[in-house]
Structure 1
Amino acid sequence: MERHDVIVLGAGLAGLSAARDLAAAGTDVVVLEARARAGGRVEQTSTPDGRLVQLGGEIVGTFHTAYRQLVGELGLTLVPTFVASSGETSWLLGRQIFIGDELPWMSDADRREYERLEKEFSTLAATVDPDNPWAHPDAASLDRVSVADWVRAAGGSPAVLRQLELSARALSVESIERTSLLADLRKESAAGAEGFYNYEAWENERVLEGSATVALTMAAQLGDRVRYSSPVSEIHIEGERNWVRLATGEVISASAVVSALPVGPLRDVHITGVSDSRLASLHRQRHAPAVKVAAAYENSFWEEQGRNGTSFMEPTLLGGTWAQNDGVLSGLIPPSSLGEYFATPTNRRQSELTEELSTVFGDAAEAYSRFYLRNWATDPWTQGYVTGWRPGDVTAVGPLHGTHEPPFYVCGSDQWVCGYMEGAVRTGRGAAAAILTR
């Protein structure tokens, strides 16, 4: 039987971050990856003229310190994103287009109401410890209600609810009707409690060389420690006699096992030797599914229109768009639109999405050189995109979220406050540190 010090399951950002630190400390580590590539939910391709197009995770914020540190260690470069653009935002509401950054479709009274509620939300978020939201004296009651219910109870107008739903669609997270207030407070507390969702905090930096290059660089450093096309079917934890069984039937043993698998695929793995409470916590987590769209153009034509490429859209397949790179628009199809998307004939999807883009940006939006669709919703090795938290989920998952049960360790974007690349790197390196401390 093949044996190593540590087995890491999954060669996404989390698993690679953990394996990289373990290997640097002299640990005999092997990474088992189901796909034939590294990166997990970060993936990229190139246009014929050599521009990189990100098909998965793409953007980080200044407070994403673990990710930013790793990028520096790898010799890669962080640059500003679309938030630095001087252009204006587009809003497609029904068939009507509004242009402007200050919620131009709202009345002055609606905007004042939005600002009041955002201040109340920020004040409440500051009372939640993102590392231990369960300690909040009102944790259970905050978790029982949705963001939408809280807004209504606080006197929010239909226009405020509409704006928050537009933001949820653009981010491709669950509807505010199905999002735990405690989960959203926890998320925004981690970002500094600066409001409902501050793009300048969350989305102001990207890796110039491509976000997937972060994972690819680590995989290259690890070399043959990463085994591809090696899905795992079983995990057994028993002191120093731990082993995993591959789908091929091969068994590999180790002193410790690190699961960097998304929570969906992890439910498909048979696990023994881990406590019922830990498994129950892991299996209670859920994903918000999504499909990513990218269109590559000769140039950033939207800038000629005085716009920044960012849009919020309803009722459409797309939830919104943003400028990914020079001449490249990104977009997401959120959970609320996936039923309609999958019901659309495959040969009609691209044309219908193109029609939506042209409704927002004009005929120039039809002149792309490449059009990409990446379905993360039903990908068997992700089964979703970012973490979703419905009312009651934070309490149900409980304070075991993101913790370890040595010699079984967990990491990944699902194991942090919310599903972002920072969470993958932070928890991956944290798992490695926990192992090395032991």
Structure 2
Amino acid sequence: MLVVGGGLAGLAAARDLAAGGADVVVLEARERPGGRVEQIRLDDGRPVQLGGEVVGPFHTAYLGLVEELGLTLEASYVGVPGQTTYDLVEDVVRSDDWPFATAAERADYERVEQLYGALAAAVDPDDPWSHPDAARLDCVSLGSWLRSVDALPSVVRCLETGAIALADGSIERHSLLADLRKSAAACESGFYDYDRWESLQVAEGSAEVAASMAAALGDRIRYGAVVEAVSVSVGGCSVRLRGGESLGAEAVVCALPVGPLRDVAVDGVAPERLASLHAQRHALAAKVVSLFDRSVWTDVGANGLLEGEGVLGSTWPQRDGVLSALVPPQRLGALLSIPDADRVSVVHEELERMYGAAARETQAVHFRLWGTDPFTQGYVTQWWPGDVMRVGPLHGTHDPPFYVCGSDQWVAGYMEGAVRTGRGAAAAALGAR
């Protein structure tokens, strides 16, 4: 079997296929495994995550794989002491929660959250299309819905800033049904709960999950193998690489992100399935990781967590002296318009505004421009109004001997989705044999 893509999803699929007795080859375009999950290690041994980092307690597929690989879980940034920073246009504010000006504004947030939670409770995350009002909920943006229930402007701004922090697009470009589905998957009774989604991390670094699987697969992985075409048939499948080489197999597991998949010529797959895959989209975002000799943000009483309206839409501490940040879709154009040589200066300016002059004293700044990376073409899955119905119930399903997996094929496009769907694709392919 051929697995196209050596990120978390492809590696998880290949690992289970090999364990099930299949002859499997992984084709990875990069010269390393892991896709959007990668890390470096500092001289003092600290791992620095340049890609995906955190998971939550309901991410059972990922947590199970971590245990199987003998890796260690620990608490993430969620419990770090100090105040959260809000980098707003008019001022930088530190608070334990969103800085509503009045008790009435906070009460309105709680009122709206209860309404949202009641809607989410009625959505089946595995089959949102079965909801009797699915089409209507999908065509409405979260922002439009908030205004329809008379949410105060401060509540709308709070949720918009939270969406910017997650770097998955404006609430004006969020399908309400997609957001409800995401909350239902986490069994949330309200808006995004960081404890449920982001409270755990792998102590050795999340990229060790990919590295461990890749090491076990060994020479079953071909690096630098850029796939240009896939032909699918029950009589045998083939994959053509850049340079003209063709490889044959009984089945193909496609673990490519949906952006790069559009660049691959796929033949023999039902048009409606390709239409479903091609209708998915990524949020075009970037990650920035700044290294310090210590956690300088604590000097101002901050915990390193930030939601902001600047180029850096969020920050959070990875480890002592390591600060992650996301550049959301609304700000990526601003970052890309800056000459490469000047980008670090812009980051320094942002960090100084947020955390004081000491935050300019970085040892290094690393950029991962996922939105323009040809083998990624984006960050997490982004569901615009209408996208859930446009993608349809074929989302995440298979058409043997063509199987799909990847973070895109799950509810929210996180690392859990990569592992969950990768292992699911392997189980389906082994069952078909």
Given candidates 223, 247, 250, the residue that maps to 1:255 is 250
Alpha-carbon distance between aligned partners in 2 of 1:122 and 1:344, rounded to the nearest angstrom? 41
Match of 1:310 among 305, 308, 329: 305
Please give the secondary structure, in 2, of the residue aligned with 1:312.
Answer: strand
2:333 matched residue in structure 1: 339
Distance (Å, rounded) in 1 between the aligned partners of 2:7 and 2:340: 29
Aligned-partner Cα distance in 2 for 1:136–1:155: 24
Unaligned residue ranges in structure 1 (runs of 5+)? 1-5
SS in 2 for 1:66: helix
Q: Could you give the per-residue CA deviations for residues 291-318 of structure 1, whole angstroms, max 9, x where no partner exists?
A: 101111111232343321001111x111
Determine if contact 1:191/1:201 at 8 Å carries over to the other structure: yes
Alignment of 1:158-197 (within 5 A): 158-197=153-192
Residue in 2 aligned with 1:435? 429
Which of residues 405, 411, 415 is equivalent to 1:417? 411
Asked if 1 retains the 8 angstrom alpha-carbon contact of 2:300 and 2:356, the reply is: no
What's the CA shift for 1:136?
A: 0.3
CA contact (8 A) 1:234 1:271 kept: yes
TM-score scaled by length of structure 2: 0.98
Identify the residue that residue 264 of structure 1 maps to in structure 2.
259
Residue equivalent to 1:8? 3
Larger mean Cα displacement after TM superposition, 115-124 or 13-22: 115-124
Alignment of 1:214-229 (within 5 A): 214-229=209-224
Gaps of at least 5 residues in structure 2 are none
Residue-by-residue CA offset, 1:242-283 (whole Å, 9 max, x unaligned): 111111211111111000000000011001110000000001
The aligned residue for residue 51 of structure 2 is 56
Q: Is the 8 A contact 2:297 2:356 kept in 1?
A: no
1:117 is matched with which residue?
Answer: 112
Q: Distance in 2 between matches of 1:412 and 1:185?
A: 21
User: Partner letter of residue 234 of structure 2?
Assistant: G
Write the letter of the residue equivalent to 1:134.
Answer: W
Distance 1:50 1:205 in 2: 20
Displacement of 1:48 in angstroms is 3.6
Distance 2:326 2:14 in 1: 31
Residue 197 of structure 2 corresponds to: 202
Q: Which residue of 2 aligns with 1:356?
A: 350
One-letter identity of the residue aligned with 1:422: E
Q: CA RMSD in A?
A: 1.0
For 1:401, give the aligned amino acid: H
Checking the alignment, whether the CA contact within 8 Å between 2:74 and 2:203 is kept in structure 1 is yes
The corresponding residue for 2:323 is 329
Shift of 1:15: 0.3
The CA distance in 2 between the partners of 1:382 and 1:102, in whole Å, is 34
Tell me the amino acid that sits aligned with residue 402 of structure 1: G
Quote how far apart the aligned CAs of 1:194 are.
2.9
User: Relative to structure 2, which stretch is displaced further, 243-252 or 45-54?
Assistant: 45-54
SS of aligned partner of 1:160: helix
When structure 1 is superposed on structure 2, of 425-434 and 355-364 the one drifting more is: 355-364
Cα deviation for residue 111 of structure 1 reads 0.8
Distance in 2 (CA, whole Å) between partners of 1:72 and 1:422 is 14
> If the length of structure 1 is used for normalisation, what is the TM-score?
0.97
Report the equivalent of 2:313: 319
Instruction: Quote the residue 1:84 is aligned against.
Output: 79
Q: Does 361-370 or 174-183 show the bigger shift? A: 361-370
Number of equivalent positions:
432
1-structure distance, mates of 2:92, 2:334:
22
Q: In structure 2, how many angstroms separate the alpha carbons of the residues matched to 1:362 and 1:246?
A: 50
* Distance in 2 of aligned mates of 1:68 and 1:288: 25
Q: Secondary structure at the match of 1:403?
A: coil
Distance 1:102 1:274 in 2: 49
Output the CA distance in 2 between the equivalents of 1:170 and 1:190: 20
* 2:68 counterpart residue number: 73
Task: Name the CA distance, whole Å, in 2 between partners of 1:162 and 1:190.
Answer: 25
How far residue 105 of structure 1 moved from its aligned partner, in angstroms, is 4.0
Distance in 2 (CA, whole Å) between partners of 1:292 and 1:374 is: 5
Identity of aligned residues (%): 57
Question: How far does residue 106 in structure 1 lie from its aligned partner after superposition?
Answer: 3.3
1:282 match: 277
Q: Provide the secondary structure at the position in 2 that maps to 1:430.
A: helix
User: Given residue 378 of structure 1, which amino acid in structure 2 is its aligned partner?
Assistant: T
Contact 1:123/1:193 (<8 A) preserved: no
Q: Which digits, 9 at most, give the CA deviation of each residue in 1:170-200, with x for residues without a partner?
A: 1111100011000100011101123210001
- Per the TM alignment, residue 123 of structure 1 is displaced from its structure 2 partner at its CA by 1.1
